[in-house]
Amino acid sequence: MTDVLAGYRVVELASWTFVPSAGAVLADWGADVIKIEHPETGDPQRGLISSGLVPGDKGVNHFIEQPNRGKRSIGLDTSTPEGLQVLMKLVETADVFLTNLLPESRRRMGVDVEHVRARNPKIIYARGHGYGPKGDAADRGGYDLASYWARGGIGDAYAPHDGGYPPFQRAAFGDLYGGLAIAAGITAALLKRERTGEPSVVDVSLLNAAIWQLGMDIVGAGVLGADLPKFPLTQMPNPAVNLYRTRDGRYLAFVLLQGDRFWADFCTRLGRPDLITDERYVDSAARFVNREQCITELREIFAAQDLAHWEKAFEGFDGVWDVVRTAREVHDDPQVIANGYLPRTVDANDNEFALAASPVQFDETPLRLTRAPGHGEHTDDLLGELGYPPDDIIDLKVKNVVL
């Protein structure tokens, strides 16, 4: 049973990735998610391939597919009285209203909490923000690069210790994580409603998502009264918790938190049993004092052989380690495939590709994912479900209210 939310309906008035990715997770879990898109423009991400910002192959727009799979799309101009009426009819049938509109836009369009609850008092109202619903920044728009990566401290956490530029975040890095948090909040609100009959307003901001993810640093900084130190890789407190480069330019990550427990076997597999009893490295305390020298020596050892050599040398090692993989390697990783973490789907043009499954499985069953909808693909079906006769649907199309 993977359709744990079967029977629940979500109306999503949102675009880009952050909030739509929450709808994708809910669709993964079996909810009927209805994506509201403007009849002319649709979700702006539909245009990223034609604008050249996103590389595409055979027309597959992964920026649409990943956060919109499994949904139904209706092309609807909610700025018109007729379009708003259609939206509210959908709201009357829904369990959740999901949006990323800014406060002023919600009020102006007549889709704020009080408007939606007037048509459906039991609906769960979920909002995704850049900076949260209160404070001076509540009305500011936010993408994850600004609200999550910059304001939330993630970028600084990964900036070089010598004061160089922070790294630029990967696409939708905070959006997808924040969307998962929205989906979790909605699910908890559904449970509360089932038990108490009371609906909730669910709020998730990219800023708060960053604070949660960087919690160890931020809480620690508050306790200590200063930012936590950044250790360059040449000065890591535990040389056995570090990254090491191989001769062919690959990297190995070792996480031997209990260094003394694994040190002997680690050195043996390195082909350097002499390091086991070397007084400079004989235990964790000694390795801390001599960490720079130890790391330099370990770097030279790893740099002398290719990745294939070290994979064989550490096969069966009880300590935690792994290879730093590229995105393309993860895509074809046998462990990923075995667990169904990248289920495959087919789009309307018969292009087959993988989508990243949201990271929850029920009963050890991989998710079954379907493609993202075309722009307004389900307009006629949804209007028919609402009881609109064919002539009225045609009239709405003539007026450009629907696509």
Neighbours of 199 (CB within 10 A): 20
Q: Which positions ≥6 away from 270 have C-beta within 8 Å?
A: 298, 301, 313
* Residues in a beta bridge with 346: 352
Model's pTM, two decimal places?
Answer: 0.95
Greatest Cα pair distance in the chain: 88
Whether the per-residue pLDDT at 49 is higher than 80: the answer is: no
What pLDDT shows up at residue 163? 83
What pLDDT shows up at residue 52? 59
8 A C-beta contact, residue 178 and residue 206 = yes
Average of per-residue pLDDT across 321-326: 98
Average of per-residue pLDDT across 141-162: 95
For residue 301, the Cα-to-chain-centroid distance in whole angstroms is: 37
Q: Which positions ≥6 away from 355 have C-beta within 8 Å?
A: 65, 66, 69, 342, 343, 344, 345, 369
Task: State which H helix or E strand residue 298 sits in.
Answer: helix 291-302
Query: How does pLDDT run across 105-141, given as a tens digit for each residue?
Result: 999 999 999 999 999 999 999 999 999 999 999 999 9
Query: How does pLDDT run across 246-268, given as a tens digit for each residue?
Result: 999 999 999 999 999 999 999 99
**Chain region(s) in the chain for CATH 3.40.50.10540:** 9-215+337-399
Average of per-residue pLDDT across 354-365: 96
Whether the per-residue pLDDT at 91 is higher than 80: the answer is: yes
| Residue 145 DSSP symbol | I
Average of per-residue pLDDT across 4-25: 98
Whether the per-residue pLDDT at 387 is higher than 70: the answer is: yes
Average of per-residue pLDDT across 328-353: 96
Task: Kindly report the average pLDDT of the chain as a whole number.
Answer: 96
| Residue 228 DSSP symbol | P
What pLDDT shows up at residue 53? 61
Whether the per-residue pLDDT at 362 is higher than 70: the answer is: yes
What pLDDT shows up at residue 57? 67
Average of per-residue pLDDT across 367-375: 96
Task: State which H helix or E strand residue 293 sits in.
Answer: helix 291-302
What pLDDT shows up at residue 161? 84
**Chain region(s) in the chain for CATH 3.30.1540.10:** 241-324
Q: Which positions ≥6 away from 319 have C-beta within 8 Å?
A: 240, 254, 255, 256, 261, 262, 265, 266
Average of per-residue pLDDT across 5-34: 98
Average of per-residue pLDDT across 46-55: 69
What pLDDT shows up at residue 51? 57
What pLDDT shows up at residue 399? 97
Range list of H helices, 29-102: 62-68, 81-92
The 10 Å CB-count burial string (b at 16+, else e) for 245-263 is: ebeeebebebebeebeebb
Q: Which CATH number is 241-324 given?
A: 3.30.1540.10
Q: Which CATH superfamily is domain 9-215+337-399 in?
A: Crotonobetainyl-coa:carnitine coa-transferase; domain 1 (3.40.50.10540)
8 A C-beta contact, residue 368 and residue 343 = yes
**In terms of C-beta density within 10 A (0-12 exposed, 13-18 middle, 19 or more buried), how is residue 398 classed?**
exposed
Number of alpha helices (DSSP H) and beta strands (DSSP E) in the chain? 18, 11
Per-residue pLDDT band at 286 (split at 50, 70, 90) = very high
Q: Phi first, then psi: what are they for 255, rounded to 5°?
A: -130, 70
Whether the per-residue pLDDT at 56 is higher than 70: the answer is: no
Average of per-residue pLDDT across 195-213: 98
Average of per-residue pLDDT across 188-210: 98
